[in-house]
Amino acid sequence: MFSHEKIDAYQIGLEFVAWTCQLARTTKTMEQCIALADLAKLSHAIPKIIVLGNREVLIEERLRLFETACDKVFESAATIDILYRCGEIAREQQQVGKKLLRLVLSMLKQTIKVDCIASQHQAAYRRDHIDSRTDSRNEVQGYEN
């Protein structure tokens, strides 16, 4: 098992992909087909970006990737709203898709919050320990001259 397979946001993201695929099987009109193609691309991007963010070591890069995944969630929600407003999907379908997206978004926001705290601690550690060592080395070098 890969480490990302244990992440709830990843698993719910896969459920959203499956929901999108199921919706695509009911395609009736060209307009619906085009909108669902957009939704399929967005839905596939969400778990892929979560995987990339999970394997990233640098907190700043993790944050950037998880924020990008959040952007894809919002774009997916807007696409679902468009499909609903154009009469291409039923209200119940809209609600199911957006419920999955809200779950993914909630989990991503929690991960971002934890990473932000870790980033602040990391920055404080650098400031307090690494920068002070550099200052000490510079003082020692100054005495050697």
Task: Write down the pLDDT at residue 142.
Answer: 58
Q: Where are the domains of the chain?
A: 3-114
Cα separation, 117 vs 132, in Å, equals 22
Q: What is the mean pLDDT of each run of 10 residues along the chain (145 residues)?
A: 91 97 85 88 97 90 95 97 93 97 97 87 73 58 53
Task: Write down the pLDDT at residue 121.
Answer: 73
The CATH class for the domain spanning 3-114 reads mainly alpha
Task: Write down the pLDDT at residue 34.
Answer: 87
Task: Write down the pLDDT at residue 78.
Answer: 97
Cα separation, 7 vs 51, in Å, equals 9
Q: What DSSP string describes 111-139?
A: HHHHHHHHHHHHHHHIIIIIHHHHHHHHH
Cα separation, 54 vs 57, in Å, equals 8
